[in-house]
């Protein structure tokens, strides 16, 4: 009889655990954030600072578990490519960072890059735009070190890269956890 009780108790516990997992799967949706783009842009709201500048990227994840890649090219031919190691997104804006794995102009010795992107941003007249900055090796915390409110600064808006061809997409996908 004790063996039967132990077996029944084990089956009952397994059933409760299974039922609890099933209900939490529908109660707590997972949110996957991601951005991608393949664009040409001019610098400044009316292109007064020249172009075309090119940016191709795919980025997703979190500040500690990000993935993706980027490639940035200036009109002079200066080119950077690298991998995404930090990603942060709020609404239609995202920032991502990562080490540079290829540089066409090695005189600059850019170790890593930070890229901000905006998708149909109301603060920018509904336009897609991006900004880039290179520097020393960057770690996590791109959400704290490179705030997304930079798009709201009039001084920054004057030097952003405004998309003239292509599209930047910043999205949140909703789905149930497995």
Q: Give the strand pairing for 112-121 and 168-176.
A: unpaired
Structural domain includes residue 103: yes
Q: Which domain holds residue 76?
A: 30-176
What pLDDT, on a 0 to 100 scale, did the predictor assign at position 89? 95
Q: Does 84 reside within a domain?
A: yes
pLDDT of residue 72: 97
If one counts the domains in the chain, the total is: 1
Burial class (CB in 10 A: 0-12, 13-18, 19+), 62: middle
pTM higher than the cut 0.85: no
Q: What's the pLDDT score for residue 55?
A: 98
Which residues on adjacent β-strands are paired with residue 82? 70, 100
- Residue 145 maps to a domain: yes
Q: What is the pLDDT of residue 106?
A: 64
- pLDDT, average across residues 132-160: 85
Residue 6 lies in a domain: no
pLDDT digits (tens, 9 = 90+) for 67-125: 999 999 999 889 999 999 999 999 999 999 999 999 998 677 888 999 999 999 999 99
Instruction: Kindly give the pairing relationship between strand 29-43 and strand 53-61.
Output: antiparallel
């Amino acid at each position: 009889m004790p063996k039967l009780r132990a077996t029944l108790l084990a089956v009952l516990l397994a059933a409760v655990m299974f039922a609890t997992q099933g209900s939490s799967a529908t109660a707590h949706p997972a949110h996957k954030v991601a951005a991608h783009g393949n664009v040409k842009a001019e610098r400044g709201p009316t292109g007064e600072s020249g172009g075309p500048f090119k940016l191709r990227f795919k980025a997703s994840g979190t500040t500690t578990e990000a993935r993706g890649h980027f490639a940035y090219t200036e009109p002079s031919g200066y080119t950077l490519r690298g991998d995404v190691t930090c990603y942060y997104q709020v609404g239609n804006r995202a920032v991502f960072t990562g080490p540079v794995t290829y540089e066409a102009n090695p005189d600059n010795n850019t170790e890593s890059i930070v890229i901000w992107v905006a998708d149909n941003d109301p603060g920018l007249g509904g336009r897609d735009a991006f900004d880039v900055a290179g520097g020393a090796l960057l770690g996590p915390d791109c959400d704290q070190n490179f705030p997304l409110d930079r798009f709201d600064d009039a001084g920054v808006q004057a030097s952003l890269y405004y998309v003239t061809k292509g599209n930047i997409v910043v999205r949140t996908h909703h789905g149930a956890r497995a």
